[in-house]
Amino acid sequence: MEENALVLIQYKFEFDMSIVGLDVSITRAILAWAAGSSDHTSSRFKDLVNDKSRIVGDFLCFVGKSPDLIMPADVQAYQIELEKRNLAATTIYASLSRISAFYRWMMSSPDLAARIKRNPVGPVRPKAPKPYQTESTKALSEVEATTLLNKVRLMAQSVDLTAKRDYAMLLLYFLTGMRREEICSLKYGDIILDSIIVISGRVKGGEIVTRQLADPTARAAIEDYLAASGRNNLLPEEPLWTRHDRSGKPGEPLTSHAFVKNLKRYALEVGIDHIHLHQTRHTFAMIVADETGSLVATQDALGHKNAAVTQVYVRRLGTKKDKYSQTVSRRLSIKDGQGKN
Protein backbone atom coordinates (compact mmCIF):
# COMPACT_ATOMS: atom_id res chain seq x y z
CA MET A 1 0.00 0.00 0.00
CA GLU A 2 2.92 2.35 0.67
CA GLU A 3 4.17 1.88 -2.91
CA ASN A 4 0.75 2.75 -4.28
CA ALA A 5 0.65 5.81 -2.03
CA LEU A 6 3.90 7.01 -3.58
CA VAL A 7 2.41 6.57 -7.03
CA LEU A 8 -0.57 8.66 -5.99
CA ILE A 9 1.65 11.45 -4.70
CA GLN A 10 3.65 11.37 -7.94
CA TYR A 11 0.56 11.91 -10.09
CA LYS A 12 -0.93 14.51 -7.74
CA PHE A 13 -4.47 13.19 -7.92
CA GLU A 14 -7.28 15.67 -7.48
CA PHE A 15 -9.24 13.37 -5.25
CA ASP A 16 -12.95 13.98 -4.76
CA MET A 17 -13.35 16.00 -1.57
CA SER A 18 -16.69 14.33 -0.87
CA ILE A 19 -14.93 11.40 0.77
CA VAL A 20 -12.74 13.43 3.11
CA GLY A 21 -14.94 12.33 5.99
CA LEU A 22 -14.01 8.68 5.54
CA ASP A 23 -11.53 6.89 7.74
CA VAL A 24 -7.98 7.63 6.55
CA SER A 25 -7.11 3.96 6.15
CA ILE A 26 -10.19 3.35 4.01
CA THR A 27 -9.45 6.43 1.91
CA ARG A 28 -5.94 5.13 1.30
CA ALA A 29 -7.34 1.71 0.48
CA ILE A 30 -9.69 3.21 -2.12
CA LEU A 31 -6.87 5.11 -3.78
CA ALA A 32 -4.52 2.13 -3.66
CA TRP A 33 -7.13 -0.14 -5.26
CA ALA A 34 -8.04 2.43 -7.91
CA ALA A 35 -4.40 2.98 -8.88
CA GLY A 36 -3.49 -0.68 -8.76
CA SER A 37 -6.42 -1.73 -10.94
CA SER A 38 -5.84 0.93 -13.62
CA ASP A 39 -3.47 0.87 -16.56
CA HIS A 40 -0.49 3.06 -15.63
CA THR A 41 0.46 3.43 -19.30
CA SER A 42 -2.91 4.85 -20.32
CA SER A 43 -3.24 8.56 -21.04
CA ARG A 44 -6.46 8.39 -18.99
CA PHE A 45 -4.77 6.88 -15.93
CA LYS A 46 -5.48 9.87 -13.72
CA ASP A 47 -9.10 10.10 -14.87
CA LEU A 48 -9.65 6.37 -14.35
CA VAL A 49 -8.31 6.47 -10.79
CA ASN A 50 -10.35 9.54 -9.91
CA ASP A 51 -13.54 8.07 -11.40
CA LYS A 52 -13.14 4.77 -9.55
CA SER A 53 -12.35 6.56 -6.29
CA ARG A 54 -15.39 8.81 -6.56
CA ILE A 55 -17.75 5.89 -7.13
CA VAL A 56 -16.57 3.89 -4.11
CA GLY A 57 -16.29 7.01 -1.94
CA ASP A 58 -19.82 8.11 -2.85
CA PHE A 59 -21.15 4.66 -1.96
CA LEU A 60 -19.43 4.54 1.44
CA CYS A 61 -20.54 8.07 2.30
CA PHE A 62 -24.13 7.27 1.32
CA VAL A 63 -24.26 4.12 3.44
CA GLY A 64 -22.42 5.72 6.36
CA LYS A 65 -21.02 2.46 7.69
CA SER A 66 -17.65 0.84 7.98
CA PRO A 67 -17.07 -1.39 4.90
CA ASP A 68 -17.07 -4.57 7.03
CA LEU A 69 -20.57 -3.77 8.34
CA ILE A 70 -22.22 -3.11 4.98
CA MET A 71 -24.93 -5.58 3.98
CA PRO A 72 -26.63 -6.42 0.65
CA ALA A 73 -29.63 -4.33 1.73
CA ASP A 74 -27.33 -1.29 1.89
CA VAL A 75 -26.22 -1.94 -1.67
CA GLN A 76 -29.84 -2.17 -2.79
CA ALA A 77 -30.58 1.15 -1.09
CA TYR A 78 -27.67 2.72 -2.95
CA GLN A 79 -28.93 1.32 -6.24
CA ILE A 80 -32.31 2.95 -5.59
CA GLU A 81 -30.50 6.21 -4.86
CA LEU A 82 -28.67 6.01 -8.20
CA GLU A 83 -31.96 5.39 -9.97
CA LYS A 84 -33.40 8.50 -8.29
CA ARG A 85 -30.46 10.43 -9.79
CA ASN A 86 -31.77 9.35 -13.22
CA LEU A 87 -28.59 7.47 -14.08
CA ALA A 88 -28.67 5.01 -16.95
CA ALA A 89 -28.90 1.29 -16.20
CA THR A 90 -25.45 0.78 -17.70
CA THR A 91 -23.99 3.48 -15.43
CA ILE A 92 -25.60 1.95 -12.33
CA TYR A 93 -24.35 -1.51 -13.26
CA ALA A 94 -20.84 -0.18 -13.86
CA SER A 95 -20.86 1.64 -10.50
CA LEU A 96 -21.92 -1.46 -8.57
CA SER A 97 -19.33 -3.49 -10.45
CA ARG A 98 -16.63 -1.05 -9.32
CA ILE A 99 -17.78 -1.37 -5.72
CA SER A 100 -17.78 -5.14 -6.01
CA ALA A 101 -14.25 -5.08 -7.43
CA PHE A 102 -13.12 -2.94 -4.50
CA TYR A 103 -14.50 -5.49 -2.06
CA ARG A 104 -12.79 -8.34 -3.88
CA TRP A 105 -9.53 -6.41 -3.66
CA MET A 106 -9.97 -5.82 0.08
CA MET A 107 -10.75 -9.49 0.67
CA SER A 108 -7.49 -10.44 -1.06
CA SER A 109 -5.41 -7.80 0.73
CA PRO A 110 -3.27 -9.10 3.63
CA ASP A 111 -3.94 -5.86 5.53
CA LEU A 112 -7.73 -5.92 5.14
CA ALA A 113 -8.79 -9.54 4.66
CA ALA A 114 -9.12 -10.07 8.41
CA ARG A 115 -11.82 -7.36 8.56
CA ILE A 116 -13.58 -7.84 5.20
CA LYS A 117 -15.15 -11.29 5.12
CA ARG A 118 -17.84 -10.87 2.45
CA ASN A 119 -18.73 -8.94 -0.67
CA PRO A 120 -22.18 -7.36 -0.12
CA VAL A 121 -22.61 -6.53 -3.81
CA GLY A 122 -22.52 -10.10 -5.13
CA PRO A 123 -25.97 -11.29 -3.98
CA VAL A 124 -27.82 -8.19 -5.21
CA ARG A 125 -25.91 -6.92 -8.24
CA PRO A 126 -28.38 -6.50 -11.13
CA LYS A 127 -27.99 -8.34 -14.41
CA ALA A 128 -25.79 -6.68 -16.95
CA PRO A 129 -27.81 -4.54 -19.40
CA LYS A 130 -28.06 -5.94 -22.89
CA PRO A 131 -25.14 -4.81 -25.06
CA TYR A 132 -25.60 -2.17 -27.74
CA GLN A 133 -28.85 -0.90 -26.25
CA THR A 134 -27.64 2.36 -24.76
CA GLU A 135 -27.60 5.93 -26.06
CA SER A 136 -23.87 5.61 -26.71
CA THR A 137 -24.52 2.94 -29.35
CA LYS A 138 -27.01 4.94 -31.39
CA ALA A 139 -25.70 6.62 -34.48
CA LEU A 140 -26.43 10.27 -34.95
CA SER A 141 -28.70 10.99 -37.87
CA GLU A 142 -26.97 12.56 -40.85
CA VAL A 143 -28.80 15.82 -40.10
CA GLU A 144 -27.59 15.78 -36.48
CA ALA A 145 -24.00 14.99 -37.47
CA THR A 146 -23.96 17.66 -40.17
CA THR A 147 -25.47 20.28 -37.85
CA LEU A 148 -22.94 19.48 -35.13
CA LEU A 149 -19.98 19.61 -37.50
CA ASN A 150 -21.16 22.91 -39.00
CA LYS A 151 -21.53 24.42 -35.53
CA VAL A 152 -17.96 23.59 -34.54
CA ARG A 153 -16.64 24.54 -38.01
CA LEU A 154 -18.12 28.03 -37.75
CA MET A 155 -16.58 28.47 -34.31
CA ALA A 156 -13.23 27.26 -35.67
CA GLN A 157 -13.25 30.03 -38.26
CA SER A 158 -12.64 32.51 -35.44
CA VAL A 159 -9.42 32.80 -33.46
CA ASP A 160 -10.69 30.30 -30.90
CA LEU A 161 -7.89 27.71 -30.67
CA THR A 162 -10.05 25.33 -28.66
CA ALA A 163 -12.69 25.29 -31.41
CA LYS A 164 -10.03 24.83 -34.11
CA ARG A 165 -8.61 21.87 -32.21
CA ASP A 166 -12.03 20.36 -31.50
CA TYR A 167 -13.15 20.70 -35.12
CA ALA A 168 -10.05 18.89 -36.36
CA MET A 169 -10.57 16.14 -33.80
CA LEU A 170 -14.29 15.81 -34.51
CA LEU A 171 -13.57 15.44 -38.22
CA LEU A 172 -11.13 12.63 -37.50
CA TYR A 173 -13.67 10.83 -35.31
CA PHE A 174 -16.42 11.02 -37.93
CA LEU A 175 -14.23 10.35 -40.98
CA THR A 176 -12.25 7.41 -39.60
CA GLY A 177 -14.53 5.77 -37.03
CA MET A 178 -11.54 5.56 -34.70
CA ARG A 179 -12.09 5.02 -30.99
CA ARG A 180 -11.92 7.61 -28.22
CA GLU A 181 -8.30 7.20 -27.12
CA GLU A 182 -6.99 6.29 -30.58
CA ILE A 183 -7.43 9.89 -31.68
CA CYS A 184 -7.08 11.76 -28.41
CA SER A 185 -3.72 10.16 -27.62
CA LEU A 186 -2.15 10.86 -31.03
CA LYS A 187 1.36 12.26 -31.03
CA TYR A 188 2.79 14.43 -33.78
CA GLY A 189 4.92 11.55 -34.99
CA ASP A 190 1.82 9.36 -35.41
CA ILE A 191 0.43 11.40 -38.29
CA ILE A 192 1.79 12.40 -41.71
CA LEU A 193 0.02 15.39 -43.25
CA ASP A 194 0.35 14.74 -46.96
CA SER A 195 -2.16 14.80 -49.81
CA ILE A 196 -3.45 11.66 -48.11
CA ILE A 197 -3.11 11.69 -44.32
CA VAL A 198 -1.41 8.64 -42.82
CA ILE A 199 -2.26 7.84 -39.20
CA SER A 200 -0.45 5.21 -37.14
CA GLY A 201 -1.30 4.23 -33.61
CA ARG A 202 -2.11 1.53 -31.12
CA VAL A 203 -5.67 0.27 -31.29
CA LYS A 204 -7.81 -1.74 -28.90
CA GLY A 205 -5.98 -4.97 -28.18
CA GLY A 206 -2.53 -3.38 -28.41
CA GLU A 207 -1.93 -3.81 -32.14
CA ILE A 208 -0.27 -1.00 -34.15
CA VAL A 209 -2.42 -0.04 -37.14
CA THR A 210 -1.63 2.38 -39.95
CA ARG A 211 -4.48 3.83 -42.01
CA GLN A 212 -5.02 6.43 -44.68
CA LEU A 213 -7.45 9.36 -44.70
CA ALA A 214 -7.97 10.88 -48.13
CA ASP A 215 -10.57 13.54 -47.29
CA PRO A 216 -8.86 16.96 -47.61
CA THR A 217 -11.00 18.74 -45.00
CA ALA A 218 -9.32 16.86 -42.15
CA ARG A 219 -5.84 17.83 -43.29
CA ALA A 220 -6.86 21.48 -43.68
CA ALA A 221 -8.42 21.55 -40.20
CA ILE A 222 -5.36 19.98 -38.54
CA GLU A 223 -2.98 22.33 -40.33
CA ASP A 224 -5.15 25.32 -39.40
CA TYR A 225 -5.08 24.32 -35.73
CA LEU A 226 -1.34 23.69 -35.64
CA ALA A 227 -0.55 26.95 -37.45
CA ALA A 228 -2.88 29.04 -35.28
CA SER A 229 -1.39 27.57 -32.11
CA GLY A 230 2.21 28.01 -33.32
CA ARG A 231 2.88 24.28 -33.22
CA ASN A 232 3.93 23.55 -36.80
CA ASN A 233 7.32 22.08 -35.94
CA LEU A 234 6.67 19.65 -33.13
CA LEU A 235 8.87 16.79 -32.05
CA PRO A 236 7.55 13.31 -32.89
CA GLU A 237 6.85 12.48 -29.24
CA GLU A 238 4.89 15.68 -28.53
CA PRO A 239 1.07 15.41 -28.24
CA LEU A 240 -0.90 16.44 -31.31
CA TRP A 241 -3.65 17.96 -29.15
CA THR A 242 -3.11 20.13 -26.08
CA ARG A 243 -5.16 22.20 -23.69
CA HIS A 244 -5.12 25.97 -24.24
CA ASP A 245 -5.30 28.59 -21.51
CA ARG A 246 -7.01 31.93 -21.89
CA SER A 247 -3.98 33.46 -23.60
CA GLY A 248 -4.04 30.68 -26.17
CA LYS A 249 -0.76 29.09 -25.17
CA PRO A 250 -0.52 25.31 -25.45
CA GLY A 251 -0.41 23.45 -22.15
CA GLU A 252 -0.87 19.90 -20.93
CA PRO A 253 -1.86 17.10 -23.33
CA LEU A 254 -5.60 17.10 -23.92
CA THR A 255 -7.57 14.38 -22.18
CA SER A 256 -10.53 12.70 -23.87
CA HIS A 257 -12.59 13.71 -20.82
CA ALA A 258 -11.96 17.39 -21.58
CA PHE A 259 -12.79 16.92 -25.26
CA VAL A 260 -16.04 15.11 -24.46
CA LYS A 261 -17.03 17.92 -22.10
CA ASN A 262 -16.68 20.38 -24.99
CA LEU A 263 -18.52 18.02 -27.35
CA LYS A 264 -21.52 17.88 -25.03
CA ARG A 265 -21.60 21.68 -24.90
CA TYR A 266 -21.52 21.98 -28.71
CA ALA A 267 -24.27 19.36 -29.01
CA LEU A 268 -26.55 21.16 -26.55
CA GLU A 269 -26.13 24.38 -28.51
CA VAL A 270 -27.55 22.71 -31.63
CA GLY A 271 -30.36 20.92 -29.80
CA ILE A 272 -28.80 17.48 -29.26
CA ASP A 273 -29.59 16.77 -25.62
CA HIS A 274 -27.55 13.58 -25.17
CA ILE A 275 -24.37 12.68 -26.99
CA HIS A 276 -21.58 10.17 -26.46
CA LEU A 277 -18.29 10.27 -28.32
CA HIS A 278 -18.70 6.62 -29.34
CA GLN A 279 -21.69 7.70 -31.43
CA THR A 280 -19.25 9.10 -33.99
CA ARG A 281 -17.93 5.56 -34.54
CA HIS A 282 -21.45 4.19 -34.90
CA THR A 283 -22.36 6.98 -37.31
CA PHE A 284 -19.30 6.06 -39.39
CA ALA A 285 -20.38 2.40 -39.29
CA MET A 286 -23.93 3.26 -40.35
CA ILE A 287 -22.79 5.22 -43.38
CA VAL A 288 -20.23 2.60 -44.45
CA ALA A 289 -22.81 -0.18 -44.09
CA ASP A 290 -25.39 1.78 -46.06
CA GLU A 291 -22.93 2.70 -48.82
CA THR A 292 -21.33 -0.72 -49.23
CA GLY A 293 -24.12 -3.07 -48.19
CA SER A 294 -21.27 -5.31 -47.08
CA LEU A 295 -20.62 -6.72 -43.64
CA VAL A 296 -17.05 -7.55 -44.66
CA ALA A 297 -16.33 -4.00 -45.84
CA THR A 298 -17.82 -2.53 -42.67
CA GLN A 299 -15.84 -4.94 -40.49
CA ASP A 300 -12.63 -3.94 -42.26
CA ALA A 301 -13.41 -0.21 -41.93
CA LEU A 302 -14.05 -0.56 -38.19
CA GLY A 303 -11.06 -2.83 -37.60
CA HIS A 304 -13.15 -5.52 -35.92
CA LYS A 305 -11.55 -8.94 -35.64
CA ASN A 306 -14.89 -10.56 -34.88
CA ALA A 307 -17.55 -10.27 -37.57
CA ALA A 308 -20.24 -10.87 -34.94
CA VAL A 309 -19.43 -7.50 -33.35
CA THR A 310 -19.72 -5.76 -36.71
CA GLN A 311 -23.00 -7.55 -37.35
CA VAL A 312 -24.44 -5.98 -34.22
CA TYR A 313 -23.38 -2.54 -35.50
CA VAL A 314 -24.90 -3.16 -38.90
CA ARG A 315 -28.08 -4.82 -37.63
CA ARG A 316 -28.78 -1.99 -35.24
CA LEU A 317 -27.65 0.91 -37.40
CA GLY A 318 -27.62 0.00 -41.04
CA THR A 319 -30.64 0.03 -43.32
CA LYS A 320 -30.75 -2.98 -45.63
CA LYS A 321 -31.02 -1.67 -49.16
CA ASP A 322 -33.71 -2.93 -51.50
CA LYS A 323 -32.06 -4.66 -54.43
CA TYR A 324 -34.78 -7.01 -55.59
CA SER A 325 -38.33 -5.68 -55.13
CA GLN A 326 -38.60 -4.22 -58.63
CA THR A 327 -37.33 -7.45 -60.17
CA VAL A 328 -39.79 -9.49 -58.13
CA SER A 329 -42.62 -7.11 -59.03
CA ARG A 330 -41.80 -7.36 -62.74
CA ARG A 331 -41.58 -11.15 -62.76
CA LEU A 332 -44.83 -11.50 -60.84
CA SER A 333 -46.53 -8.94 -63.08
CA ILE A 334 -47.61 -6.89 -60.08
CA LYS A 335 -49.73 -3.91 -61.17
CA ASP A 336 -50.48 -0.63 -59.40
CA GLY A 337 -53.93 0.76 -58.77
CA GLN A 338 -54.18 1.99 -62.35
CA GLY A 339 -53.35 -1.39 -63.83
CA LYS A 340 -49.79 -0.47 -64.74
CA ASN A 341 -46.72 -2.60 -64.10
Quote the pLDDT of residue 13. Answer: 41
Contact 333, 341 (CB under 8 A): yes
Rounded Cα distance between 137 and 313, Å, is 8
Closest-CA residue to 291 (of 268, 263, 321): 321
- Residue 316 has a pLDDT of 60
pLDDT tens digits in sequence order for the chain, 341 residues long: 344 443 443 344 444 434 445 667 778 888 889 888 887 776 677 778 888 888 998 999 899 898 999 999 999 999 999 999 988 888 899 999 999 999 999 999 888 888 899 999 999 988 876 654 455 568 898 999 999 999 999 999 988 899 999 999 999 999 999 999 999 999 999 999 998 999 988 887 678 889 999 999 999 999 999 999 999 889 999 999 999 977 667 888 999 999 999 999 999 999 998 899 999 999 998 888 888 878 888 899 998 888 877 877 776 655 666 778 788 877 787 765 555 55
Per the CB < 8 A criterion, the answer to whether 299 and 313 are in contact is no
In this predicted structure, what is the pLDDT of residue 22?
61
Contact 49, 98 (CB under 8 A): no
* DSSP symbol at 206: S
Burial of 52 (0-12, 13-18, 19+ CB in 10 A): buried
Residue 179 contacts residue 225 (beta carbons within 8 Å): no
229 within 8 A of 244, measured Cβ to Cβ: yes
Distance, CA of 292 to CA of 323 (rounded, Å) = 13
Question: Is domain 136-317 classified as CATH 3.40.80.10?
Answer: no
Q: Which of 34, 117, 31, 25 is nearest to 71 (CA)?
A: 117
pLDDT of res. 121: 95
Which residues of the chain form CATH 1.10.443.10? Answer: 136-317
- Residue 7 is predicted with a pLDDT of 45
